[in-house]
Amino acid sequence: MGFVSSLLGFFGFGFGLTAGLVIGYYLFIYFQPSDVKDPTIRPLIECDSSSLENMLPEIPLWVKNPDYDRIDWLNRFLESMWPYLDKAICKTAKEIAKPIIAENLVKFKINSVEFETFTLGSLPPTFQGMKVYMTEEKELIMEPSLKWAGNPNVTAVVKAFGLKATVQVVDLQIFAAPRITLKPLVPSFPCFAKILVSLMEKPHVDFGLKLLGADLMSIPGLYRFVQETIKMQVANMYLWPKTLEVAIMDPSKAKKPVGILHVKVITAHKLKKKDLMGKSDPYVKLKLTEDKLPSKKTTVKRSNLNPEWNEDFKFVVKDPESQALELNVFDWEQVGKHDKMGMNVVPLRDLTPDEPRTMTLNLLKNMDPNDAQNEKSRGQVVIELIYKPFKEDEVSSDISDDAKSDMLEKAPEGTPSGGGLLVVTVHEAQDLEGKHHTNPYVQILFRGEQRKTKHIKKNRDPRWEEEFQFVCEEPPVNDKMHVEVLSKPPSIHIHSKV
């Protein structure tokens, strides 16, 4: 029986295999449709937009939307410059991250965070097109379509609690539609003062994150959670109308100085008593609008409601049509905030160049013409103003050539014969060594005038980028400038040199 069963099973298998091949041939080969025709080839210009999108889902915006311009030249530029841009961007990112990391080390009890590798890879971003808006303002608005499927390698080594961990970011993809605004446009290179960046829609961000060599994004649910969190956080910060503002230059510095404003604070009359136990102790603060420099102050006159100062000040004017002199009178207090006694503003466009003008100004609470409290008497301040614009040819034409040469024979070649403005820019310092602390600032002394930069906490490589101005009545060919780097202590002590 065993032999017969095996024989029948063999024949059954053979019959079933043969029958399967025949039926398969009959169904899939013999019965082929006979109404299939060759495809019709048409030019793309005859296809509608939906057909084009089905055929080419990644079609560039400059094809689909006439408002977008084709910018292949920019992609070629990025491709050629990317090896250098990669290093420059990574260096800048490290410098920006360094103080942020240092600030959070103590907060999270981390010993150190160091970048082992930091590169954006060999693949540059690609711009699919760009839309440019024309407005009546002094600005340029651009909306590029950005896609970047890069191969960066950012590896950071974190040391904390005696342990060492390596975190790596790889395979980054970013699809974004930013709006880039350059404003205001100014007549000095790079011809704009700020860059404002907003996102017109939530960006697509995808990346790989490895901890100790293990891919964290492979954990179920974590990938979607991280992606949505990043989209939400970025949208909360930069989704239009919110913006990221990057300062390129001070707009006020973009304008060249055009003159000097001489101000003499003479006296004040009928000031109001502020102190409960006596008279006021007035002083005046002066400042030019649109100027980032600190205000200048007169001396304090003790217990005097009709003080006399007769003190002179000089201000560098960059735009006499828009700038104004702002005066604020305060009552000095030894403890607490100084009380404001009144203010007023003098537009420079009201002054005639090179003509002195004495003005008696009523002190107001503010510059709102509709404020009824400005009708209240607060006293008056008397000042004298002279606006002297710079002139290219300071030497009079009636002076002989010999006299001109005698005037300039002691000065270096190219030195102007008249006064001018000395501009000093403090950029940075490197490898500072402090004995007790390193909170550096720079102190400059020139012709009896002293200027100071802001102090930077706990930094041996500080960067200030601050500008100071000294008005010179004559070329400073024989003068010396004393520059000193000091360190501000964390508490009240004597300042020490760095």
CB atoms within 10 A of CB 344: 20
End-to-end CA distance of the chain: 108
The domain boundary, picked from 200, 226, 249, lies at 249
Residue among 291, 385, 288 at smallest CA distance from 345: 288
Q: Which residues sit opposite 313 in a β-bridge?
A: 263
Q: Where are the alpha helices (DSSP H) in 143-199?
A: none
* Sequence-distant (≥ 6) Cβ neighbours of residue 296 within 8 angstroms: 285, 286, 287, 313, 315
Same domain, 245 and 262: no
Burial (CB count <10 Å: 0-12, 13-18, 19+), residue 365: middle
Predicted local distance difference test score (pLDDT) of residue 400:
42
Residue 44 covered by a domain: no
Confidence of residue 309 (pLDDT cuts 50, 70, 90): very high
In this predicted structure, the answer to whether residue 263 has a pLDDT above a threshold of 90 is yes
Range of the domain at 375: 255-389
Report for 61-70, 125-134, 251-260, 338-347: range of highest mean pLDDT: 338-347
Q: pLDDT: is 282 or 172 the higher one? A: 282
Is it the case that residue 177 has pLDDT exceeding 80? yes
| Residues 31-71 pLDDT 10s | 556 666 676 777 767 777 677 666 665 666 666 667 778 88
171-185, 351-365, 409-423: the lowest-pLDDT one: 409-423
Mean of all residue pLDDT scores within the chain: 77
Percent residues over pLDDT 90 in the chain: 9
State how far the Cα of 378 lies from the Cα of 369, in Å rounded to an integer: 16
Asked if residue 362 is part of any domain, the answer here is yes
Q: Are residues 267 and 381 in the same domain?
A: yes
Number of domains in the chain: 3
pLDDT at 498 over 60: no
Whether 231 and 269 share a structural domain = no
Does the residue 22 lie in any domain? no
> Residue 273, Cβ neighbours under 10 Å: how many?
12
Task: Report which secondary-structure segment, H or E, holds 357.
Answer: strand 357-362
Cβ neighbours of residue 91 closer than 8 Å, sequence gap 6 or more: none
Element (H, E) at 49: helix 49-55
How open is the CA angle 414-473-398, to the nearest 5 degrees?
A: 65
- Confidence at 470, pLDDT banded by 50, 70, 90: confident
3-class secondary-structure state, position 138: coil
357-362 vs 440-446, strand pairing mode: unpaired
In a 3-state reduction of DSSP, which class is residue 280? coil
Task: With a cut of 90, say whether residue 396 has pLDDT above it.
Answer: no
One domain, residues 91 and 238: yes
Strands (DSSP E) contained in 71-203 are 112-119, 126-133, 140-149, 153-160, 163-176, 178-185, 192-199
Examine the pLDDT at 133 and tell me if it is beyond 60. yes
Q: Is 381 domain-assigned? A: yes
Q: In this model, does residue 411 exceed pLDDT 50?
A: no
**CATH code, 439:** 2.60.40.150
Q: Are residues 319 and 464 in the same domain?
A: no
Q: Are residues 235 and 88 in the same domain?
A: yes
| 264, 244: one domain | no
238 near 174, Cβ under 8 Å?
no
| pLDDT per residue as tens digits for the range 191-212 | 777 888 888 887 877 777 777 7
Are 228 and 132 members of one domain? yes
Q: What's the whole-number mean pLDDT along residues 151-169?
A: 81
Q: Which of 249, 283, 313 is the last residue of a domain?
A: 249
Do residues 193 and 211 make contact, with C-beta atoms less than 8 angstroms apart?
Answer: no
222/323 same-domain check? no
* pLDDT at 481 > cutoff 80: yes
Q: How high is the pLDDT of residue 111? A: 77
Please indicate, yes or no, if residue 19 is contained in any of the structural domains: no
Asked if 382 contacts 359 with a C-beta cutoff of 8 angstroms, the reply is yes
125 in any annotated domain: yes
Structure confidence at residue 13 (pLDDT): 53
Same domain flag for 156 and 284: no
User: Is residue 39 situated within a structural domain?
Assistant: no
273 in a domain, yes or no? yes
> Do 199 and 222 belong together in one domain?
yes
pLDDT of residue 87: 87
- Using the 3D structure, point to which of 205, 224, 249 is the last residue of a domain: 249
Q: Are residues 230 and 115 in the same domain?
A: yes
Please give the DSSP secondary-structure letter assigned to residue 27: I
- Rounded to whole angstroms, how far apart are CA atoms 420 and 474? 7
Confidence at 129, pLDDT banded by 50, 70, 90: confident
The pLDDT of residue 495 = 43
